[in-house]
């Protein structure tokens, strides 16, 4: 399995790990999420749930390759308050991803592009760059997004017709 | 203001008190809700929210007469972890309420009825009674509800036509 | 496997497909859900979640036979903004379902009935019919439901005792 | 007060009406929301909440001019199962709104534009039109949005520079 | 498989059973959750979701050993309104659990302790005991928790250094 | 009104500003929240809601002194996609707040303390400091919290008895 992870591919050895937390300080959640990403989690997210006795808990979800299960468990058991976790086998279908450059009034910026079956289906400005431009030039973030998207679109149309 | 609180009325001296909790053990919530009801709250509920730094917090809401503000605050400050609460003036429009009796296969049961402008608009079996019957007779709770509702409806139709 | 899908059955070749969306216009969700149902999804629902950096995203869930995976993926990749989806194998246990007719003051109406092990366990008025009657006769929707349920119940009791 | 409601304005005679529902069939919600909009509600939305005994209820919210309180209450009491509602005074600040036309590859389409202090701050393609184009031309809804937004933006830039 | 369930272990024969409910009285949820726990469910929780036509439904989740599937289904089909359920295979990793005693100003109390790889990683006061003490001594629940945790921590430190 | 804002006080000139967002990229939310805090908001939080046509929107909430309404509106109109906001008058009751120092194995740390009626009712370790210690010393964040809390508690008991 020597494919480039930038190519569209299906990864069949994934686990979705879940832990229900009904007695933990929610202030810790972002710290724990960051730690799980650093340990190689492909995705981390939380879901508001209602647990026994009507407790407003949260369900922590971690999507990760099965080889990293033990590391992720280590973090969950040491950083959260849970006495158990569960996991289910999952397959991930990931699009081919490329970073492309686009010219804007604020200079060259980056767009993350996704291809499905060789066809461009997604493109999204890089959040951090847009945030930085919005702060530096004191323009609304939404305008930065708008211009990056419009410029990328125009560039694609030009290339297609040339 | 000597109206019977069973009559339909508007209470204009209500407060909606809110506290955002982002660092509290959610296990305590049901205990705190019970305490607030005992202190005279008309309603208590929690809303899952997202607070600063993406924290999955909960917003505690207490609906209460303005004269009880101080008591309710006392409970919130001593039992939760908040450093502040906010409140807004609210008016409550409450229907006339009556408890009526209805015959079922499990004996006489209670239905809570609501009248708006003298007209019956709501009727609901008493949860606790239904729960008790469901346990005692080992029947699904939903069947108990169904029969109580159907019996009450039939009784009303009979009375109307007699 | 030539069973009638109206019979109670277990379908072991199902997939639960999930996509986390943190950068999509939520206005598009209902359109996308409809499209997924048209493409053969057995169920579609969304869950409010909190994603990295505290983003209030939504998780799209699609329950579908494994043979339709590719079609569903095609819709998700072209209509949403996600760069990847995941799926897990699932089994579905579906009750035997029948549509029965019941007489009401507004004419014959339909009740969807579910049987588990040959025993009637569910019955529900058809939403669209009730909605139509409520509009046409200008009666509260809840009263239409109430009467359809009560009439169906009475009809069952009569048939049982005859 | 003879201002055109298309002008930016503040309406200080608004009410936010709320009803907590813990014993109602959620299937009825969209029907009830539509009815409230037809009765003149400016906005209607529901919030998932946790009520006493850990019940997963919903809070119905209706934003409306105070003169319509009684009509809205009539609908809530007859169509939902609540025994009471509450309301708070609110002020609404609404942007000046205009519908502008823009040329696209699918013909002339509409963009809803919002002005704050005379300055264009919002513009959004009309959902229904985009949905219709997406169905008719079998293109992803997101591409229709993208083109309408880009065309409108280009048109504004041209007009500004001419 | 004769391990003591108090030991840390992985149980690979678990099922996560899910049912989406969009037409059920939410008042019944806590009753149903209790019933599922009594029937041997390891965990039960509900998730607020948005179902087709924008209905604010709830997803019931039951985590249980696969041998109990049929019992759990029996309860779900008879007590809820669903026409179908789905389930996925799951593995549960549970920490070694012990109940330890700790001295407090209100007498001896219990702490639930969790061990991962032989190392203490979790400890939590027993909710019911704390609740009882809070009521009996009229002290805030959070203070009871605080003292139980602090006393347990001190006891561990003393034992480690002696 | 020359009270020290560290003293317990009630601020009656607050506004709760709300905007429902059903067509905005959720990726922007944290950026917008930060901007609102910088502009003087006392609190900012978002609530997942269901809007018309079943759209999974979010409600942005900003709590702020009434004198800052116009600034906050400027940010909301330029950074989000809303065509209108609403606001309600609110009163805020804030506890007296002090930062106290406490000795731990990692050096002197800070605890935020809240007083109600002169009585200490809240104390919480400073999140940022704890996070920094957890990273520097590679200990679980929850252990840092535990020690800071326990040390502060012990210090208070000693002072009280000396």
DSSP one-letter string for E54-121: GEEEEEEEEEEEGGGHHHHHHHHHHHS--SEEEEEEEEEEE-EEEEEEEEETTEEEEEEEEEETTEEE
Buried b / exposed e over A83-122, threshold 16 CB at 10 Å, is bbbbbbbbbbbbbbbeeeebebebeebbbebbbbeeeebb
Residue of D nearest to B128 (CA): D53
Alpha-carbon distance values, B50 to A47, E26, F43, F145 (Å): 11, 24, 11, 22
| Contact criterion met (CB < 8 Å) for F54 and C29 | yes
Residues of chain E contacting F56 with CB distance shorter than 8 Å: 50
DSSP one-letter string for C1-62: ----TTS-EEEEEEEEEEEEESSS-GGGHHHHHHHHHHTT-SEEEEEEEEEGGGEEEEEEEE
Q: What pLDDT is recorded for position B159?
A: 86
pLDDT at B2 over 50: no
Phi then psi for B40, rounded to 5 degrees? 105, 5
| Contact criterion met (CB < 8 Å) for D78 and C140 | yes
Residue E57 tokens read as: 């439904």
Whether C9 contacts chain E with CB within 8 A: no
Residue pair D114/D123 in contact (Cβ under 8 Å)? The answer is yes
- Give pLDDT tens digits for F76-131: 999 999 999 999 999 999 999 999 999 999 999 999 999 999 999 999 999 999 99
Supply the Cα-derived Rg of chain A in whole angstroms: 20
Asked if residue C134 and residue C103 are part of one domain, the reply reads yes
| Contact criterion met (CB < 8 Å) for B86 and F63 | yes
Q: What pLDDT is recorded for position F162?
A: 74
Whether D134 contacts chain C with CB within 8 A: yes
Q: How confident is the model at residue F4 (pLDDT cuts 50, 70, 90)?
A: low
Whether B59 contacts chain A with CB within 8 A: no
Separation CA F56–CA F48 (nearest Å): 7
- The complex scores an ipTM of 0.94
| Contact criterion met (CB < 8 Å) for E46 and A50 | yes
| Contact criterion met (CB < 8 Å) for E92 and A85 | yes
Closest by Cα among C118, C125, C117 to C100: C125
Residue F68 tokens read as: 């800052």
| Contact criterion met (CB < 8 Å) for E90 and A85 | no
Question: What does the longest C-alpha to C-alpha distance in chain E come to?
Answer: 65
Neighbouring CB atoms inside 10 A of F76's CB total 25
Separation CA F58–CA F44 (nearest Å): 13
Tell if the pTM clears 0.90, that is, is over it: yes
Out of B54, B78, B94, pick the residue that ends a domain: B94
Residue of A nearest to C22 (CA): A45
Asked if residue E142 and residue E128 are part of one domain, the reply reads yes
Closest by Cα among F64, F84, F87 to F20: F84
Q: How confident is the model at residue F36 (pLDDT cuts 50, 70, 90)?
A: very high
Mean pLDDT across chain F: 95
CA distance F127 to chain C (A): 16
- Is A132 exposed, middle or buried (CB count within 10 Å of its CB: 0-12, 13-18, 19+)? middle
Neighbouring chains of A at 3+ CB pairs under 8 Å are B, C, D, E, F
Q: Nearest Cβ partner of C146 from B53, B56, B153?
A: B153
Whether B39 contacts chain D with CB within 8 A: no
Q: How confident is the model at residue D1 (pLDDT cuts 50, 70, 90)?
A: very low
pLDDT at E1 over 60: no
Residue of F nearest to C46 (CA): F56
Separation CA C23–CA C56 (nearest Å): 9
Asked if residue F101 and residue F87 are part of one domain, the reply reads no
Residues of chain B contacting F37 with CB distance shorter than 8 Å: 52
Residue of D nearest to A148 (CA): D150
Domain count across chain E: 2
- Give pLDDT tens digits for E80-123: 999 999 999 999 999 999 999 999 999 999 999 999 999 999 99
| Contact criterion met (CB < 8 Å) for D84 and B95 | yes
- Contacts (Cβ under 8 Å, ≥6 apart) of D12: D91
Q: What pLDDT is recorded for position A5?
A: 60
Which 3-state string (H, E, C) describes C84-123? EEEEEEEEEEECEEEEEEEEECCEEEEEEEEEECCEEEEE
Q: Nearest Cβ partner of C55 from F30, F55, F56?
A: F30
Whether B125 contacts chain F with CB within 8 A: no
Asked if residue C19 and residue C76 are part of one domain, the reply reads yes
Q: State the angle between helix axes of C127-137 and C141-161 in degrees (0 to 180), rounded to the nearest 10.
A: 120
| Contact criterion met (CB < 8 Å) for B140 and E78 | yes
Neighbouring CB atoms inside 10 A of A43's CB total 19
**pLDDT above 70 covers what percent of chain E?**
97
CA distance E44 to chain B (A): 15
Residues of chain F contacting A80 with CB distance shorter than 8 Å: 142
Separation CA E22–CA E62 (nearest Å): 17
Per the domain annotation, does F4 fall within a domain? no
CA distance A141 to chain C (A): 13
Q: Nearest Cβ partner of C141 from D79, D127, D145?
A: D79
Q: What pLDDT is recorded for position C5?
A: 60
Q: Nearest Cβ partner of E50 from F54, F153, F154?
A: F54
Q: How confident is the model at residue D4 (pLDDT cuts 50, 70, 90)?
A: low
Residue of D nearest to C47 (CA): D48
Residue pair C142/D31 in contact (Cβ under 8 Å)? The answer is no
pLDDT at B106 over 60: yes
- Contacts (Cβ under 8 Å, ≥6 apart) of B162: none
CATH number of domain containing F146:
3.10.20.300
**Mutate which: A32, A45, A125, vs C, most C CBs within 10 A:** A45
Alpha-carbon distance values, C116 to C8, C15, C95, D9 (Å): 7, 23, 6, 59
Mean pLDDT across chain C: 95
| Contact criterion met (CB < 8 Å) for E81 and B134 | no
Whether B88 contacts chain D with CB within 8 A: yes
Geometric angle at alpha carbon D140, from D137 and D145, rounded to 5°: 95
**Mutate which: A150, A154, A155, A160, vs D, most D CBs within 10 A:** A150
pLDDT at B3 over 50: no
| Contact criterion met (CB < 8 Å) for B90 and D85 | no
CATH number of domain containing D70:
3.30.70.1380
pLDDT at B4 over 60: no
- Give pLDDT tens digits for C113-135: 999 999 999 999 999 999 999 99
Residue of F nearest to A24 (CA): F142
Residues of chain A contacting C78 with CB distance shorter than 8 Å: 116, 121
Whether E70 contacts chain B with CB within 8 A: no
Q: What pLDDT is recorded for position B161?
A: 81
Separation CA F43–CA D159 (nearest Å): 40
Neighbouring chains of D at 3+ CB pairs under 8 Å are A, B, C, E, F
Whether B56 contacts chain C with CB within 8 A: yes
Residues of chain C contacting F83 with CB distance shorter than 8 Å: none
Per the domain annotation, does E4 fall within a domain? no
**pLDDT above 90 covers what percent of chain F?**
92
Whether F149 contacts chain E with CB within 8 A: yes
Whether E116 contacts chain F with CB within 8 A: no
Helices (H), D2-117: 29-38, 69-79
Asked if residue D78 and residue D153 are part of one domain, the reply reads no
Per the domain annotation, does B2 fall within a domain? no
Separation CA F26–CA C54 (nearest Å): 10
Q: Nearest Cβ partner of C27 from D27, D28, D127?
A: D127
| Contact criterion met (CB < 8 Å) for C45 and E84 | no
Per the domain annotation, does F2 fall within a domain? no
Per the domain annotation, does E2 fall within a domain? no
Question: What does the longest C-alpha to C-alpha distance in chain A come to?
Answer: 65
pLDDT at F3 over 90: no
Q: What pLDDT is recorded for position E162?
A: 74
Q: Nearest Cβ partner of E87 from C45, C90, C112?
A: C90
Residue pair C96/C115 in contact (Cβ under 8 Å)? The answer is yes
Asked if residue E60 and residue E71 are part of one domain, the reply reads yes
Phi then psi for C133, rounded to 5 degrees? -65, -45
Lowest mean pLDDT across B2-16, B23-37, D4-18, D147-161? B2-16
Q: How confident is the model at residue F1 (pLDDT cuts 50, 70, 90)?
A: very low
| Contact criterion met (CB < 8 Å) for D88 and B88 | yes
CA distance A15 to chain E (A): 10
Out of C94, C124, C152, pick the residue that ends a domain: C94
pLDDT at B85 over 90: yes
Asked if residue E14 and residue E84 are part of one domain, the reply reads yes
Residue of B nearest to E125 (CA): B27
Separation CA C48–CA A49 (nearest Å): 10
Asked if residue C88 and residue C18 are part of one domain, the reply reads yes
- Give pLDDT tens digits for A94-103: 999 999 999 9
Asked if residue E113 and residue E140 are part of one domain, the reply reads yes
Residues of chain F contacting B51 with CB distance shorter than 8 Å: 43, 45
Residue indicated by tokens 């072209």:
C78
Per the domain annotation, does A4 fall within a domain? no
Out of C67, C94, C121, pick the residue that ends a domain: C94
pLDDT at F5 over 70: no
Which 3-state string (H, E, C) describes A70-129? HHHHHHHHHHCCCCEEEEEEEEEEECEEEEEEEEECCEEEEEEEEEECCEEEEEEECHHH
Residue pair D46/D60 in contact (Cβ under 8 Å)? The answer is yes
Domain of B20, in residue numbers:
9-94
CA distance B46 to chain A (A): 8
Asked if residue D113 and residue D72 are part of one domain, the reply reads no
Whether C157 contacts chain B with CB within 8 A: no
- Give pLDDT tens digits for B41-57: 999 999 999 999 999 99
Q: What is the pLDDT along chain A (162 residues), one digit of tens a residue?
A: 344 568 999 999 999 999 999 999 999 999 999 999 999 999 999 999 999 999 999 999 999 999 999 999 999 999 999 999 999 999 999 999 999 999 999 999 999 999 999 999 999 999 999 999 999 999 999 999 999 999 999 998 888 887
Residues of chain B contacting E60 with CB distance shorter than 8 Å: none
Whether F32 contacts chain C with CB within 8 A: no
Closest by Cα among B99, D15, E57 to F56: E57
A vs D: CB pairs below 8 A: 22
Separation CA D101–CA D111 (nearest Å): 6
Per the domain annotation, does B1 fall within a domain? no
- Give pLDDT tens digits for D83-121: 999 999 999 999 999 999 999 999 999 999 999 999 999
Whether A52 contacts chain E with CB within 8 A: yes
Asked if residue C102 and residue C89 are part of one domain, the reply reads no
Per the domain annotation, does B63 fall within a domain? yes
Asked if residue C103 and residue C64 are part of one domain, the reply reads no
Q: What pLDDT is recorded for position A10?
A: 97
């Amino acid at each position: 399995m020597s494919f480039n992870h930038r190519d569209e591919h299906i990864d069949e050895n994934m686990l979705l790990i879940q832990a229900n937390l009904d007695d933990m300080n929610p202030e810790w959640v972002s710290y724990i999420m960051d730690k799980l990403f650093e340990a190689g989690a492909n995705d981390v997210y939380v879901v508001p749930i209602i647990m026994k006795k009507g407790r407003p808990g949260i369900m922590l979800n971690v999507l990760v390759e099965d080889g990293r299960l033990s590391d992720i468990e280590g973090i969950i058991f040491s950083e959260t308050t849970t006495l158990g976790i569960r996991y289910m086998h999952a397959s991930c279908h990931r699009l081919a991803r490329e970073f492309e450059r686009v010219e804007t009034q604020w200079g060259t910026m980056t767009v993350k592009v996704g291809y499905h079956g060789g066809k461009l289906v997604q493109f999204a400005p890089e959040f951090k760059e847009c945030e930085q431009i919005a702060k530096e030039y004191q323009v609304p973030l939404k305008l930065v997004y708008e211009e990056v998207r419009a410029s990328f679109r125009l560039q694609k149309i030009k290339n297609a017709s040339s």
